[in-house]
């Protein structure tokens, strides 16, 4: 854990992504930023005139698309430059400039959508007849007008656009307190070494085979969070209040309705997930009992949830081995899919290793007209291999949508964003299980699969239920204090983990450290996406070419339909509980096999 990281300049260039594919230099980036601002000024001249004629509407949307695409590249280059080296002053400057420009441009263009919404249906149909080229923007226009009952006057839209930075303050406060100001104590690890707890070290330390270490880390970590309990509650209450403000301003009945409607999803999909997972909690409880048995513990505590239950087996992989596994795993998706991933590996779409100042975690970010970029912090674990598969799924989704759709129609919704990534993971798991050398390796893989269900379906749904309930509390006038937030979280933890787990009181503070609670009802999509992916991967493996063809249509569809309709193309109906119930039956089968292997 204390190995010195290389500086960015010391990393082998072949292990870094090639941002020159976006802009050859910072001066090119500056030119693009300047052009985006000029285009925004040009667009601003059309305020009040957007629907003067079919020709004007087409011209406005043409400029808007061009401006949006340039800013997409400008922002993409800036945040990727910053993310690989947060110590770089020049990268921070690029990022700050792009963010400021984004706010400035959004304020200038605040008139656009209200004017599109204000056009009556008959006039719009006449425009389509007069200017057939407008069909290119029909999906975008329809989506804008879908929200007409929630739109405001141009003046109020401009006012709301100017509050965007204020709305980010609760999260900014959360991130600053959690990442900069919060100081954790040291503990003595299993080797007798003093080591400071950090957010990044928490889970690795909780994987320690020494239970004393796990318990001490757990207690000191959450006690540190708890020492700022009033501040965390104030920040989270601020987050919920700003969501309530926007929901009321846009005439939604609740923050949940406002959040899911942004992705054109019904609140019923959210509620179905919570209900379906609650109906299947017996499977989670069975998993917890199995964990307790395999760890040979009289009492299972929350500090025992990360320690591996398969003893004396720990596989390590090089990045080349990980790449080969991913390529083998996705072969059922066809030669074109495999060759595209090979191209990504060969042409430096991926930033592979950790360096000083590089942000943690992993992500994929598509850049329209260029190619997707993938950020990793690869250090050879099984998790890292699955992360590579996961992020390449995102990358392929972006690639196929970008190739098939115009820029405005390529931007698929967050609701479907986790499907392609997790489909790759399920295919990788099935491939590795099929090729496991012995029962020890098979058990190791099954453990990873069970943990994926635990972490992605059950844990994320628990988060989703916390978010839903806490928002409902605030909407009914109940103040969000640290006491009632902690009580809510602790009770949910007890319900989800069951009686075989001792839900230590300190786990009630866990809500204080979850950044996703500031992402506006985001986490449920991990669970729905995972469930859809299990269904798609199993269909691909069973049905072959027909299923692959449907799946490729889904990957290429961008945002041309609402997300639930898009998933129906791939053979999954998320308007029902069936995909969640079906995925959790797979979870049960994995538990049963693990029970058999470990008798």
Weakest-pLDDT range from 151-165, 438-452, 573-587: 151-165
The b-or-e profile of 294-305 (16+ CB within 10 A means b, else e) is beeeeebbbbbb
Q: Is the pLDDT of residue 177 over 50?
A: yes
Helix (H) or strand (E) holding 188: strand 186-188
**Which pLDDT belongs to residue 599?**
83
Residue located via tokens 């080969």 = 324
Residue of 245, 255, 236, 246 whose CA lies nearest to 518: 236
Share of the chain above pLDDT 90, in %: 88
Phi first, then psi: give them for residue 196, nearest 5 degrees. Answer: -85, 135
pLDDT in tens, 10-68: 999 999 999 999 999 999 999 999 999 999 999 999 999 999 999 999 999 999 999 99
Q: How far apart are CA 19 and CA 36, in angstroms?
A: 19
Upper half-sphere CA count for residue 119 (Cβ side, 13 Å): 27
**Which pLDDT belongs to residue 348?**
97
Cα distances (Å, whole numbers) of residue 149 to 69, 246, 251, 268, 484: 28, 14, 8, 20, 35
Cα distances (Å, whole numbers) of residue 231 to 170, 199, 438, 482: 11, 18, 51, 9
Give me 85's structure tokens.
Answer: 């080296």
pLDDT in tens, 462-486: 999 999 999 999 999 999 999 999 9
Give me 175's structure tokens.
Answer: 């991130």
What is the residue-wise DSSP string for 70-99?
HHHHHHHHHHHHHHH-TT-HHHHHHHHHHH
**Which pLDDT belongs to residue 312?**
75
Out of 107, 115, 391, 425, pick the active-site residue: 391
Neighbours of 563 (CB within 10 A): 25
* Inter-helix orientation angle 199-206/211-226, to 10°: 150
Residue of 173, 226, 217, 172 whose CA lies nearest to 199: 217
SS3 at position 300: strand
Question: Residues 199, 201, 206, CA angle at the centre, nearest 5°?
Answer: 110
Residue 264 binned pLDDT confidence (cut-offs 50, 70, 90): very high
Phi first, then psi: give them for residue 249, nearest 5 degrees. Answer: -60, -35
Residue 3 binned pLDDT confidence (cut-offs 50, 70, 90): low
With left for phi above 0 and alpha for psi between -120 and 50, is residue 502 left, alpha or beta?
A: beta
Share of the chain above pLDDT 70, in %: 99
Sequence-separated (6 or more) residues with CB below 8 Å from residue 199 = 178, 179, 513
The b-or-e profile of 195-231 (16+ CB within 10 A means b, else e) is bebeeebbeebbebeeeebbbbbbeebbebbbebbee
**Which pLDDT belongs to residue 1?**
43
Phi first, then psi: give them for residue 206, nearest 5 degrees. Answer: -70, -10
pLDDT in tens, 490-519: 999 999 999 999 999 999 999 999 999 999
Q: Is the pLDDT of residue 438 over 80?
A: yes
Residue of 303, 362, 322, 332 whose CA lies nearest to 502: 303
Q: Is the pLDDT of residue 525 over 80?
A: yes
Query: How does the average pLDDT of the chain come out, rounded?
Result: 95
**Which pLDDT belongs to residue 162?**
85
Q: Please name the residue ranges forming H helices in 406-543.
A: 407-410, 414-434, 439-453, 459-475, 482-497, 524-543
Q: Are 217 and 205 in contact (CB under 8 A)?
A: yes
**Which pLDDT belongs to residue 308?**
87
Residue 317 binned pLDDT confidence (cut-offs 50, 70, 90): very high
Q: How far apart are CA 445 and CA 429, in angstroms?
A: 7
Q: Is the pLDDT of residue 559 over 90?
A: yes
Give me 183's structure tokens.
Answer: 């100081």
Residue 526 binned pLDDT confidence (cut-offs 50, 70, 90): very high
Cα distances (Å, whole numbers) of residue 90 to 18, 70, 77, 176, 180: 17, 20, 12, 21, 21
Indicate the CATH number for domain 17-162: 1.20.140.70
| Torsion from C-alpha of 443, 462, 579, 581, nearest 10 degrees | 70
Please compute the mean of the pLDDT values over residues 283-289 and round it to a whole number. Answer: 98
Q: Is the pLDDT of residue 94 over 50?
A: yes
| Torsion from C-alpha of 130, 133, 138, 141, nearest 10 degrees | -80
Please compute the mean of the pLDDT values over residues 261-274 and round it to a whole number. Answer: 94
Weakest-pLDDT range from 123-132, 191-200, 347-356: 191-200
The b-or-e profile of 320-344 (16+ CB within 10 A means b, else e) is eebbebbbebbebbbeebbebbeeb
Q: Which residues pair with 501 in a beta bridge?
A: 300
Please compute the mean of the pLDDT values over residues 197-203 and round it to a whole number. Answer: 89
Q: Are 567 and 554 in contact (CB under 8 A)?
A: yes
Question: Is 391 a residue of the active site?
Answer: yes
- Farthest CA pair distance, the chain: 78
pLDDT in tens, 384-415: 999 999 999 999 999 999 999 999 999 999 89
pLDDT in tens, 303-314: 999 998 988 788
Q: In a 10 Å sphere around its CB, with 0-12 CB exposed, 13-18 middle and 19+ buried, how is residue 284 labelled?
A: buried
**Which pLDDT belongs to residue 152?**
84
């Amino acid at each position: 854990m204390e190995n010195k990281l290389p500086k960015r300049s010391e990393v082998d260039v072949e292990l870094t992504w090639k941002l020159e594919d976006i802009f050859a230099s910072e001066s090119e980036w500056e030119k693009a930023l300047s052009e985006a601002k000029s285009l925004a000024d040009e667009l601003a001249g059309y305020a009040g005139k957007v629907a003067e004629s079919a020709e004007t509407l087409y011209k406005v949307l043409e400029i808007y698309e061009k401006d949006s695409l340039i800013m997409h590249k400008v922002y993409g280059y800036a945040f990727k430059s910053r993310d690989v080296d947060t110590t770089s002053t020049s990268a921070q400057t690029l990022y700050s400039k792009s963010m400021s420009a984004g706010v400035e441009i959004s304020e200038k263009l605040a008139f656009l959508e209200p004017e599109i919404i204000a056009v009556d249906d008959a006039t719009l149909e006449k425009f389509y007849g007069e200017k057939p080229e407008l069909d290119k923007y029909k999906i975008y226009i329809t989506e804008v007008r879908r929200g007409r009952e929630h739109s405001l006057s141009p003046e109020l839209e401009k006012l709301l656009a100017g509050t965007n930075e204020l709305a980010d303050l609760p999260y900014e406060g959360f991130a600053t307190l959690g990442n900069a100001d919060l100081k954790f104590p040291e503990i003595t690890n299993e080797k007798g070494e003093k080591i400071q707890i950090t957010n990044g070290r928490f889970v690795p330390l909780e994987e320690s085979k020494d239970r004393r270490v796990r318990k001490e880390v757990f207690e000191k970590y959450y006690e540190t969070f708890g020492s700022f309990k009033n501040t965390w509650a104030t920040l989270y209450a601020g987050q919920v209040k700003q969501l309530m403000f926007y929901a009321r301003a846009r005439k939604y009945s609740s923050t949940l309705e406002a959040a899911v409607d942004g992705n054109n999803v019904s609140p019923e999909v959210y509620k179905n997930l919570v209900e379906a997972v609650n109906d299947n909690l017996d499977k989670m409880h069975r998993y917890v009992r199995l964990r307790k048995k395999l760890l040979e513990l009289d009492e299972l505590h929350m500090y025992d949830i990360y320690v591996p239950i398969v003893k004396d087996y720990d596989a390590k992989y090089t990045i080349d081995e990980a790449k080969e596994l991913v390529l083998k795993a996705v072969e059922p998706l066809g030669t074109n899919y495999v060759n595209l991933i090979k191209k990504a590996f060969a042409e430096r779409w991926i930033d592979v290793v950790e360096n000083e100042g590089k942000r943690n975690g992993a992500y994929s970010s598509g850049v329209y007209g260029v190619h997707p970029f993938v950020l990793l912090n690869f250090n050879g674990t099984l998790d890292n291999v699955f992360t590579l598969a996961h992020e390449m799924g995102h990358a392929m989704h972006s690639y196929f949508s970008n190739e098939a759709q115009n820029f405005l129609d390529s931007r698929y919704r967050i609701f479907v964003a986790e499907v392609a990534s997790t489909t790759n993971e399920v295919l990788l798991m099935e491939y590795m299980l099929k090729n496991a050398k012995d029962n020890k390796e098979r058990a190791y893989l099954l453990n990873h699969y069970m943990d994926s269900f635990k972490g992605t379906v059950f844990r994320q749904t628990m988060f989703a239920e916390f978010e839903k309930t806490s928002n409902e509390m605030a909407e009914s006038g109940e103040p969000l204090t640290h006491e009632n937030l902690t009580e809510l979280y602790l009770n949910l933890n007890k319900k989800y983990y069951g009686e075989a787990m001792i839900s230590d009181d300190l786990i009630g503070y866990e809500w204080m450290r979850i950044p996703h609670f500031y992402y506006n009802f985001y986490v449920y999509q991990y669970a729905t996406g995972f469930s859809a992916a299990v269904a798609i991967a199993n269909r691909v493996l069973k049905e072959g070419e027909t299923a692959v063809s449907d799946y490729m249509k889904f990957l290429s569809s961008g945002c041309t339909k609402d997300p639930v309709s898009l998933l129906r193309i791939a053979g999954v109906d998320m308007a029902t509980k069936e995909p969640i119930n079906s995925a959790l039956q797979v979870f049960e089968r994995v538990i049963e096999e693990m029970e058999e292997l470990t008798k």
